[in-house]
Amino acid sequence: MVHVLSSRTLLRPTDPERSRVFYGEQLGLAVYREFGAGPERGTVYFLGGGFLELSGRSEDPPSPAVRLWLQVGDVAAAHEELRAKGVRITRPPVREPWGLVEMWVADPDGTPIVLVEVPADHPLRFRPGI
């Protein structure tokens, strides 16, 4: 059996500095560590229970199949904050039929990011009788 001690999602941005500005300054993710030097240095951000690593450079944007799911405490507040910072919001907050409140944004390379709020009455938080 594989005993996983830690995990991270790796992205190879087309413009590493632009992506560092987006994830660090606009989204406000805290830096876990940096490595290397210069404009293509690697940066690892905290993502709740995991990490997001930006390292290297790609000539092509990431596959549209790559998406990030980030749970936040208040999607409406995140919407106002990110809109004020100029983040491209691809879909404003909506309460989905499955009960989660979701808002979609995109990073500079077009990677879709869903910000999710789990309401207090949602089964992910509350299960009657348990």
Predicted local distance difference test score (pLDDT) of residue 30: 97
Whether 39 has a pLDDT exceeding 90, the answer reads no
Q: Rounded to an integer, what is the distance from CA 86 to the centroid of its chain?
A: 16
The whole-number pLDDT of residue 130 equals 64
Cross-sheet strand order for the sheet of 42-47: 8-11, 50-54, 42-47, 31-35
The three-state secondary structure class of 88 is coil
Q: What is the mean pLDDT of the chain?
A: 92
Residue 30 three-state SS: coil
**In angstroms, rounded to a whole number, what is the distance separating the alpha carbons of residues 116 and 127?**
19
The one-letter amino acid at 76: A
Tokens of 28: 């406000």
Q: Which among 92, 97, 108 has a CA at the least distance from the CA of 19?
A: 108
Give the model's pLDDT for residue 22: 97
**Per-residue pLDDT at 127:** 67
Contacts 24+ apart (CB under 8 A), 119-125: 119/95, 123/99, 124/100
pLDDT (tens digit, 9 = 90+) per residue, 53-99?
999 999 998 888 999 999 999 999 999 999 999 999 999 999 999 99
pLDDT tens-digit series, residues 6-20: 889 999 999 999 999
The average pLDDT across 25-47 equals 94
